[in-house]
Amino acid sequence: MGRQVICPQCRKDGALRARPQSPSELIAALIWMVPFQCQHCCHRFLARRVSMAGSSHPIERREHLRIPVRLCLSFSGGKVRGEGTVMDLSLGGCIIKSRTQVHIDDIFYLQIVLDEAELPVEVAAMVRSVSVRGIAFKFLRKGQENKRLRTFIQSHSGSTSSVLSKAVEPTVTG
């Protein structure tokens, strides 16, 4: 199994690869450096890629850690209303099971029940794909901006993050 990417700021593992957001991050890619973002403290940093020669583990390219869940949700947009179950949740989006017919690029307001004792978390999302696996939504605003969603994912990611395989060596940058 590959090494975990450890955040140089909070020293927790589970930092995930991020998309380049600046010219310097794009240039760093030319020297085998890739941007990462910590799922705990949101710190961005560059890390050096290490060769995966001879490894049977794929490089994790997801920007956000996915956690398996079973949460109730309702959604609405335009004239469409539906209910379903969230099967997979991350700070960037979710996958749900629902019988409601939706189309790619439709925009909905999702109400996800994280805890029966609290009001649902509300997020705007766009349909990215519809398949046998479910309806994949991409959150229009980063889930990191929603404190309850971020706290929920962090509290449920401990056992999941140890399973991820990474092929990088952390390098602290400013």
* Percent of the chain surpassing pLDDT 70: 76
Give the mean model confidence (pLDDT) for residues 37-42. 80
Query: Once rounded to an integer, what is the mean pLDDT over residues 75-87?
Result: 93
User: What is the model's pLDDT at position 145?
Assistant: 67
Distance CA(64)–CA(143), nearest Å, equals 10
Amino acid at 132: V
Half-sphere exposure of residue 6, counting CA atoms within 13 Å on the CB side?
A: 6
What's the pTM value of the predicted model, to 2 decimals? 0.58
Helix (H) or strand (E) holding 158: helix 158-161
Residue-by-residue DSSP string for 18-69: ----SHHHHHHGGGTEEEEE-TTT--EEEEEE---TT--SPPP--SS--EEE
Q: Give the pLDDT confidence score for residue 158 in this predicted structure.
A: 59
- Residue 2 pLDDT > 70: no
Q: Say what the pLDDT of residue 141 is.
A: 78
Q: Domains of the chain by range and CATH?
A: 16-63+161-170 (no CATH), 67-156 (2.40.10.220)
Percent of the chain topping pLDDT 90: 34
Query: Using CA atoms, how far apart are residues 85 and 148, in angstroms rounded to an integer?
Result: 18
The answer to whether 81 and 75 are in contact (CB under 8 A) is yes
Please compute Rg for the chain using Cα positions. 17
CB 63 within 8 A of CB 17: yes
Please tell me the predicted confidence (pLDDT) of residue 86: 95
* The pLDDT value given to residue 42: 81
Query: Does residue 56 register a pLDDT over 70?
Result: no
